[in-house]
Amino acid sequence: TQLLEQSPQFLSIQEGENLTVYCNSSSVFSSLQWYRQEPGEGPVLLVTVVTGGEVKKLKRLTFQFGDARKDSSLHITAAQPGDTGLYLCADRKGGSNYKLTFGKGTLLTVNP
């Protein structure tokens, strides 16, 4: 059974600071996805990474995928209060095209 470990579990920072959160898998990712879930809402897909070593940028967010495809990081530059939320990584379960396995997430709070 694949396990996705996310760290840190909680992160509270001031507006304007930079931060990095991590996602590690006990096995090679099939197709790593990062989501953000705002309080009281459902997860919203931010990015999908597939290729080892891949780097994707989404405005102030930079996603890196490890060469061995077992780890990933999400870096946010100059965090804003609107970045507050639960950041989740997920993988499509091995052998399944549709079944998503999620980590427990990093709860980010950006204080004004």
Partner 1 sequence: NAGVMQNPRHLVRRRGQEARLRCSPMKGHSHVYWYRQLPEEGLKFMVYLQKENIIDESGMPKERFSAEFPKEGPSILRIQQVVRGDSAAYFCASSPSGDGKNIQYFGAGTRLSVL
Binding positions for partner 1, rule: CB under 8 A = 4, 31, 40-45, 88, 90, 92-93, 96-105
E strands along the chain, which residues?
Answer: 4-7, 10-14, 19-25, 32-37, 43-49, 55-58, 61-65, 71-76, 85-92, 100-102, 106-111
- CB closer to partner 1 out of 99 and 111: 99
SS3 state of residue 81: helix
* Closest to partner 1 by CB, 44 or 68: 44
Question: In the complex with partner 1, which residue's Cβ is closer, 4 or 110?
Answer: 4
Tell me how far, at minimum, the Cβ of 23 lies from partner 1, in Å: 11
